[in-house]
Amino acid sequence: MSAKSKSLKPRRLQEAVMDYVGRQKNNTYNYKQVSHAIGVDTPAAQRAVALFLAELAFDGIIIEVAPGKFKSPARTVVATGVFSRRSNGTNSVITDEDGEQIFVAERNSMHALNGDRVAIEVAARVPGKDPEAIVTKILEKNEQTFIGTLKVDKHFAYLLTDSKFLATDIFIPKAKLRGGQTGDKAVVKITEWPDDAKNPRGEVIDVLGAAGENDTEINAIMAEFGLPYKYPQSVEKAADKIDAGITPEVVAAREDMRPVTTFTIDPKDAKDFDDALSIRRLLNGNYEVGVHIADVTHYVKPGSIIDREASDRATSVYLVDRVVPMLPEHLCNGICSLRPDEDKLAFSVIFEMTEQGDVENSRIARTVIRSNRRFTYEEAQERIETCEGDYAKEINILDKMAKALRAKRYENGSVEFDRAEVRFDIDEHGHPVSVYFKVSKDANKLIEEFMLLANRQVATVIGQPVGKKKAKAFVYRVHDMPDPGKLADLSSLARNFGYKVKSTGTPRDVNRSINRMLSDLKGKGEENFLSTLAIRSMAKAIYTTTNIGHYGLGFEYYTHFTSPIRRYPDMMVHRLLERYLSGARSVNQAKLEEACKHSSDMEQLAANAERASIKYKQVEYMQDHLGEVYSGIISGVTEWGIYVELDDNKCEGLVPVRDLADDYYDFDEKNYCLVGRRHNNRYRLGDPIKVQVARCNLERKQLDFAIVDPRTGVAAGSLESREGAKAAADTLRGKRKNQRSRRRR
């Protein structure tokens, strides 16, 4: 067979490959295995096999499960999976067995909603065409709500949705409006979707208020991501009954650190102070530094109504103009907050340190503290820069230690990302009037280093087993290795600019090479391009019971212990720490892992909501600047256009590819650029560019720019003229001024 197979004609070779593939069931294979099985051993024939396998994968007949490794889709005629609904009509099912995504036409969807578990029948595959599935049964409904604007007519009402998961409006019986009126934003639940109906039917769950009002729109963002935007009164009432309860008996059971100099350093608008630092000189010349964390779990008992609510929320959400807290205000801003001149209960990590930042010893204790002073970051920074003012000596000693700790951290492979954060000045109506940047200075970094030190110490104490003992189940904050492909791309592109970034080797070596590049980039034209790529190459940090270390920090053991007022995983860590320090046995790891996953998921939702609120305010802010021209950098490149971040205010908008009228542009995914076919003009990630503010769609949170021709100073593409855009801006400003006047009256 082998001798004959060496000279197989292309058609016979393809038939032999198809025969082999058809017999493999769920086995995986590569071109060498296929070549050996069908008896081809010449390089040319093996290349033909490899190419044919790639064609089959491209046509969807087989699946490439890893580079060069294939398998046949492990599907029978009947399968189950999760339905994915999209407003553009590209519905699909992701199958349970092999994760394949199969298209479902709307007529075959049984009106399943996004996230529903469904049973499907898969149509016979036609070579050269994508497979299709038919939903036969909805096995499990995914509870979800939709946000939109109500339209109420004489006999009926409906919700005008703006969801990427639903293309149609939702019909609402007038008896199910909950008082909603035309123009109100509302949260609606679908109650039924008859087979013969184009539109689903639903009922109003909550009326958020008039569309366009600041509170309405911010609450709509929270609801859009399934996050709670109101605090239950029953939980607030339960919290109000809790007393600080710092009795002599409670104090006697703790280490009393009230006589030690202690202070907090927080943002100027902060109300929940969950960490404080203390410092005193020891007889041996070293310093005792205490990292004191609000003892939230002393007040919030497992299984209580407050604890259940905190567990569900998992995190406080920080939006542009407000904080949606994890805990009731009485706790987070009151009895738990480490306010000055008040006795407070804390869980503390206390270090003996040299002035050079070396840790000689440490202990963990439940304490009573009394903060002597509440500093803002600006006040602490002033003491670092001038060495003057109350507690300037103590702050400067801590600053010296923090800088030594930071230097060691970077030396050991911690990645140094230092990017400014966008903040808005908001008027009394919630309208953004100016933009400023939150820059991390020495005072911010001082607090950061001591929080990192405490988190690392707690994780090490519990996670590092003593002797032959097995480590107990614990909550770790882990950060995986970067994506190898993205790291290789970063290394290759950095090389084009003369920088050497390691794509292989130890984490320490790789991260040190990235830090060198980031340092050398400062102030250079390629800074934005390469620093953005470096960030995008990194994995997301998560909570888990499986400790793989924290790659970005270069820590073998790391957790979150220092913010229990705003993060539920920190509360979990406090309880586990108390349990294990008392000698109790390990908790159930599987249950703990479930809680970790929930916290990671909620953290991601909160981050998405935070970004959406920033995007909303950016678009609202830029409405006042329609037609104006700004300098910026290309912050993203996609097949549908380029994203530009403005230098002045960090607002980001899209230049749609349809508006690049001077050429037909192709997306070069590997090199992060759009390339013109005729003129070879390139728009690359990180390139500087001038744009005009062309369109602002507040409802969709979309901001469109037009590229300004550097030769003429005129915006290119099929966009309104600069004069027209400015006229639109003037009209909008006039409308807003009238609205504010009416509100004041």
403 φ, ψ to 5°? -65, -35
Three-state SS string over 686-737 comes to CCEEEEEEEEEECCCCEEEEEEECCCCCCECCCCCCHHHHHHHHHHHHHHHH
- Residue 717's pLDDT is 54
- Residue 745's pLDDT is 45
177, 179, 185, 188: CA torsion to nearest 10 = -30
Give tens-digit pLDDT for 167-206.
899 999 999 999 999 999 999 999 999 888 889 999 999 9
Does the model's pTM come out above 0.85? no
DSSP 340: B
Express as a percent the part of the chain with pLDDT over 90: 56
Of 18-22, 184-188, 538-542, give the lowest mean pLDDT range. 18-22
When pLDDT is averaged across residues 146-158 and rounded to a whole number, the result is 92
pLDDT at 555 > cutoff 80? yes
Structure tokens at 272: 């929940």
Give tens-digit pLDDT for 247-282.
999 999 999 999 999 999 999 989 899 999 999 999
C-alpha to C-alpha distance for 374 and 381, rounded to whole angstroms: 13
472 φ, ψ to 5°? -80, 155
What H or E segment, with its residue span, contains residue 444? Answer: helix 442-463
- Residue 381's pLDDT is 98
Q: Which of 250, 245, 279 is nearest to 262 (CA)?
A: 279
- Residue 744's pLDDT is 46
Confidence of residue 722 (pLDDT cuts 50, 70, 90): very low
When pLDDT is averaged across residues 104-133 and rounded to a whole number, the result is 82
Structure tokens at 658: 């349809």
What H or E segment, with its residue span, contains residue 461? Answer: helix 442-463
pLDDT at 163 > cutoff 90? no
Confidence of residue 520 (pLDDT cuts 50, 70, 90): confident
Average pLDDT, the chain: 88
Of 319-323, 481-485, 572-576, give the lowest mean pLDDT range. 481-485
- Residue 735's pLDDT is 53
pLDDT at 704 > cutoff 90? yes
> How many distinct helices (H) and strands (E) make up the chain?
18, 34
- Residue 718's pLDDT is 42
- Residue 331's pLDDT is 96
What H or E segment, with its residue span, contains residue 147? Answer: strand 145-152
C-alpha to C-alpha distance for 368 and 167, rounded to whole angstroms: 57
Task: Please state, as a whole number, how many other Cβ atoms lie within 10 Å of the Cβ of residue 614.
Answer: 20
DSSP 428: T
pLDDT at 521 > cutoff 70? yes
- Residue 241's pLDDT is 96
Burial readout 290-319 (b: 16 or more C-beta within 10 A, e: otherwise) = bbbbbbbbbbbeeeeebbebbbebbbbbeb
Query: What phi-psi label fits residue 667: left (phi over 0), alpha (psi between -120 and 50 degrees) or beta?
Result: beta
Q: Which of 685, 390, 646 is nearest to 528 (CA)?
A: 685
Give tens-digit pLDDT for 342-401.
999 999 999 999 999 999 999 999 999 999 999 999 999 999 999 999 999 999 999 999
303 φ, ψ to 5°? 85, -5
pLDDT at 8 > cutoff 80? no
**Residue with more model confidence, 645 or 577:** 577
Residues pairing with 78 in the sheet: 121
- Residue 112's pLDDT is 92
Selection from 145-159, 384-398, 686-700 with the highest mean pLDDT: 384-398
Confidence of residue 122 (pLDDT cuts 50, 70, 90): confident
Q: What is the CA radius of gyration of the chain?
A: 30
- Residue 742's pLDDT is 46
pLDDT at 512 > cutoff 60? yes
**Three-state SS for 335?**
helix
